[in-house]
Chain A
Amino acid sequence: MTAVLPSAKTGLAEFTSYGALSAHIPRAIEPLGPQYLSHARRMLRGRTWSEDERIQAELNVKSIEDEEVSEDEEEEDAAMLARDPKDWKNQDHYQVLGLSKYRYKATDEQIRRAHRKKVLKHHPDKRAQAGDNEDDGFFKCIQKAMEILSDPVRRRQFDSVDEGANVPAPSKKSKGNFYRQWGAAFEAEGRFSKKTPVPKLGDEKSSKAEVDHFYNFFYSFDSWRTFEYLDEDVPDDSDNRDHKRHIERKNKAARQKHKTEDTARLRKMVDDCLSVDPRMKMFKEAEKKAKEQRKWEREADARKAAEDAKKAKEEAEQKAKEDEEKVKEEREKSKKAKEAAKNAKKKNRRVIKGAVKDANYFVEGAASGAAIDAALNETDSLLEKIDDSALADLVQKLAGQADAAAARGLFAEAASSIGGEWKVFAA
Chain B
Amino acid sequence: MSEAQQNGDEAMTVIGISFGNANSSLSFTGSDGNVDLIPNQDGDRSIPSALAYVGEDEYHGLQAKAQLIRNSTNTVVNFRDFIGKSFSDIDPTYSHRSARPVEQEGVVGYKIVTSSEEGAEPEFVSVSEIAKRHLLRLKGSAEDFLGKALTGAVITVPTDFTPKQREELNAIATSAGIHVLQIVPEPVSALLAYDAATHGAFPKDRIVVVVDFGYTRSDGAVIAVRGGMYTVLATAHNYELGGASLDDSLADHFAKEFEKKNGIDPRKESARSIAKLLAECEITRKTLSASNSATISIESLAGGFDFHSNINRLRFEMLARKQFDNAVSFVEVLVKKAGLDVLDVDEVVLAGGSSHTPKILDRLQAVFPESTHIAAPSSSAKALNPAELIARGAAVQASLIAGFEQSDIDESLQPVVTNAPHLAKAVGVVVADSKFFPLLESYTAVPVRRSAIFDVPAEGGDVLVGIYEAEREILTHKVERIAKDTTEEDDLDDDDEPFSDEEDEETREKVLKPTTKIAEAVIKGTKTGGKVEVVLNITADLKVSIAVREIGGAAVRGDVPAAEVQK
Is B563 touching A5 in the complex (CB atoms < 8 A)? Answer: no
Is B415 touching A28 in the complex (CB atoms < 8 A)? Answer: yes
Per-position 1/0 for A26-54, Cβ under 8 A of B: 11111111111101111110001110000
Is B429 touching A5 in the complex (CB atoms < 8 A)? Answer: yes
Per-position 1/0 for B449-467, Cβ under 8 A of A: 1001111110101111110
CB contacts (< 8 Å) of B556 on chain A: these are 14-15
CB contacts (< 8 Å) of A9 on chain B: these are 464
CB contacts (< 8 Å) of B421 on chain A: these are 24-26
Is B400 touching A33 in the complex (CB atoms < 8 A)? Answer: yes
B536 to chain A, nearest CB (A): 11
In the complex, whether A8 has a CB less than 8 A from a CB of chain B is yes
In the complex, whether A21 has a CB less than 8 A from a CB of chain B is yes
Are A20 and B563 CB-contacts (below 8 A) given A5-B429, A5-B432, A30-B188? Answer: yes
B436 to chain A, nearest CB (A): 10
Nearest residue, chain B, Cβ from A38:
B228
Number of contacting residues on A, CB 8 A? 48
CB contacts (< 8 Å) of A18 on chain B: these are 516-520, 560
Is A24 touching B558 in the complex (CB atoms < 8 A)? Answer: no
A197–B429 alpha-carbon span in the complex (Å): 58
Is A7 touching B462 in the complex (CB atoms < 8 A)? Answer: yes
Question: B457's contact among A4, A15, A26, by CB below 8 Å, is which?
Answer: A4
Is B454 touching A24 in the complex (CB atoms < 8 A)? Answer: no
Is A19 touching B516 in the complex (CB atoms < 8 A)? Answer: yes
Pairs A–B under 8 Å by Cβ, sample size 29: A2-B531, A3-B432, A3-B437, A5-B454, A5-B455, A5-B456, A6-B466, A7-B457, A12-B462, A15-B519, A17-B519, A18-B516, A19-B518, A22-B425, A23-B542, A23-B563, A27-B422, A30-B188, A32-B184, A32-B189, A32-B397, A33-B397, A33-B400, A34-B400, A35-B201, A35-B229, A36-B230, A44-B411, A49-B449
In the complex, whether A13 has a CB less than 8 A from a CB of chain B is yes
Are A15 and B558 CB-contacts (below 8 A) given A5-B454, A20-B563? Answer: yes
Is A30 touching B532 in the complex (CB atoms < 8 A)? Answer: no
CB contacts (< 8 Å) of B453 on chain A: these are 2
In the complex, whether A289 has a CB less than 8 A from a CB of chain B is no
Are A10 and B229 CB-contacts (below 8 A) given A32-B184, A49-B537? Answer: no
CB contacts (< 8 Å) of B462 on chain A: these are 7-8, 10, 12
Per-position 1/0 for B461-492, Cβ under 8 A of A: 11111100100000000000000000000000
B145 to chain A, nearest CB (A): 11
Question: A24's contact among B184, B422, B431, B437, by CB below 8 Å, is which?
Answer: B422
A21–B561 alpha-carbon span in the complex (Å): 9
In the complex, whether A16 has a CB less than 8 A from a CB of chain B is yes
In the complex, whether A195 has a CB less than 8 A from a CB of chain B is yes
A104–B264 alpha-carbon span in the complex (Å): 69
Question: A27's contact among B4, B397, B419, B523, by CB below 8 Å, is which?
Answer: B419
In the complex, whether B381 has a CB less than 8 A from a CB of chain A is no
CB contacts (< 8 Å) of B400 on chain A: these are 33-34, 37
Is A43 touching B416 in the complex (CB atoms < 8 A)? Answer: yes
Is B422 touching A197 in the complex (CB atoms < 8 A)? Answer: no
CB within 8 Å of B: which A353-371 residues = none
In the complex, whether A177 has a CB less than 8 A from a CB of chain B is no
A36–B230 alpha-carbon span in the complex (Å): 8
CB within 8 Å of A: which B516-547 residues = 516-524, 531-532, 537-538, 542, 544, 546
> Residues on B close to A: CB < 8 A?
1, 3-4, 147-149, 182, 184-185, 188-189, 192, 195, 201-202, 223, 227-233, 393, 396-397, 400-401, 411-413, 415-425, 427, 429-432, 435, 437, 443, 445-447, 449, 452-457, 459, 461-466, 469, 516-524, 531-532, 537-538, 542, 544, 546, 556-566
CB contacts (< 8 Å) of A7 on chain B: these are 457, 459, 461-464
CB contacts (< 8 Å) of B523 on chain A: these are 8
Per-position 1/0 for A337-359, Cβ under 8 A of B: 00000000000000000000000
CB contacts (< 8 Å) of B192 on chain A: these are 32-33
Q: Which residue, A17, A37, A48, A196, has most C-beta atoms of chain B within 10 A?
A: A17
Is B464 touching A44 in the complex (CB atoms < 8 A)? Answer: no
CB contacts (< 8 Å) of A12 on chain B: these are 462, 464, 520, 522
Is A4 touching B431 in the complex (CB atoms < 8 A)? Answer: yes
In the complex, whether A250 has a CB less than 8 A from a CB of chain B is no
In the complex, whether A116 has a CB less than 8 A from a CB of chain B is no
CB within 8 Å of B: which A384-423 residues = none
A23–B564 alpha-carbon span in the complex (Å): 10
Is A24 touching B446 in the complex (CB atoms < 8 A)? Answer: yes
CB contacts (< 8 Å) of B518 on chain A: these are 17-21
In the complex, whether A326 has a CB less than 8 A from a CB of chain B is no
CB contacts (< 8 Å) of A37 on chain B: these are 400-401, 412
Known: A18-B516, A23-B566, A32-B393. 9 other contacts (CB 8 A): A2-B453, A5-B464, A7-B464, A8-B522, A15-B557, A16-B521, A17-B559, A29-B418, A37-B412
CB contacts (< 8 Å) of B559 on chain A: these are 17
Are A6 and B443 CB-contacts (below 8 A) given A14-B521, A20-B518, A197-B149? Answer: no
Is A5 touching B457 in the complex (CB atoms < 8 A)? Answer: yes
Is B519 touching A2 in the complex (CB atoms < 8 A)? Answer: no
Nearest residue, chain A, Cβ from B146:
A196
CB contacts (< 8 Å) of B230 on chain A: these are 29-30, 32-33, 36
Is B457 touching A31 in the complex (CB atoms < 8 A)? Answer: no
Is A4 touching B456 in the complex (CB atoms < 8 A)? Answer: yes
In the complex, whether A194 has a CB less than 8 A from a CB of chain B is yes
Is B412 touching A40 in the complex (CB atoms < 8 A)? Answer: yes
Is A13 touching B522 in the complex (CB atoms < 8 A)? Answer: yes
CB contacts (< 8 Å) of B185 on chain A: these are 30
B330 to chain A, nearest CB (A): 21
Chain A to chain B: the 8 pairs with minimum beta-carbon distance, closest first: A35-B228, A20-B563, A15-B558, A8-B464, A24-B421, A40-B412, A3-B431, A8-B462
A8–B437 alpha-carbon span in the complex (Å): 17
A256–B506 alpha-carbon span in the complex (Å): 77
Is A3 touching B435 in the complex (CB atoms < 8 A)? Answer: yes
CB contacts (< 8 Å) of A14 on chain B: these are 521-522, 524, 556
A49–B536 alpha-carbon span in the complex (Å): 12
A195–B417 alpha-carbon span in the complex (Å): 40
CB contacts (< 8 Å) of B416 on chain A: these are 43
A14 to chain B, nearest CB (A): 5
Is B231 touching A5 in the complex (CB atoms < 8 A)? Answer: no
A15–B558 alpha-carbon span in the complex (Å): 6
A223–B425 alpha-carbon span in the complex (Å): 63
Is A197 touching B148 in the complex (CB atoms < 8 A)? Answer: yes
Is B447 touching A32 in the complex (CB atoms < 8 A)? Answer: no
A12–B431 alpha-carbon span in the complex (Å): 17
CB contacts (< 8 Å) of B189 on chain A: these are 32
A5–B412 alpha-carbon span in the complex (Å): 40
Question: A19's contact among B415, B517, B557, by CB below 8 Å, is which?
Answer: B517
A223 to chain B, nearest CB (A): 13
A19–B411 alpha-carbon span in the complex (Å): 36
CB contacts (< 8 Å) of B148 on chain A: these are 196-197
CB contacts (< 8 Å) of A4 on chain B: these are 431-432, 454-457
A256–B425 alpha-carbon span in the complex (Å): 73
Is A29 touching B420 in the complex (CB atoms < 8 A)? Answer: yes
A31–B449 alpha-carbon span in the complex (Å): 19
CB contacts (< 8 Å) of A15 on chain B: these are 519-522, 546, 556-558
Is A17 touching B558 in the complex (CB atoms < 8 A)? Answer: yes
Is B447 touching A49 in the complex (CB atoms < 8 A)? Answer: yes
A32–B201 alpha-carbon span in the complex (Å): 12
Question: B542's contact among A21, A40, A41, by CB below 8 Å, is which?
Answer: A21
Question: A36's contact among B229, B431, B565, by CB below 8 Å, is which?
Answer: B229
Nearest residue, chain B, Cβ from A19:
B516
CB contacts (< 8 Å) of B223 on chain A: these are 30
Are A40 and B417 CB-contacts (below 8 A) given A32-B188, A34-B228? Answer: yes
CB contacts (< 8 Å) of B561 on chain A: these are 17, 20
Is A5 touching B419 in the complex (CB atoms < 8 A)? Answer: no
Is A27 touching B231 in the complex (CB atoms < 8 A)? Answer: yes
CB contacts (< 8 Å) of A26 on chain B: these are 419-422
Are A6 and B432 CB-contacts (below 8 A) given A21-B518, A29-B420, A49-B449? Answer: yes
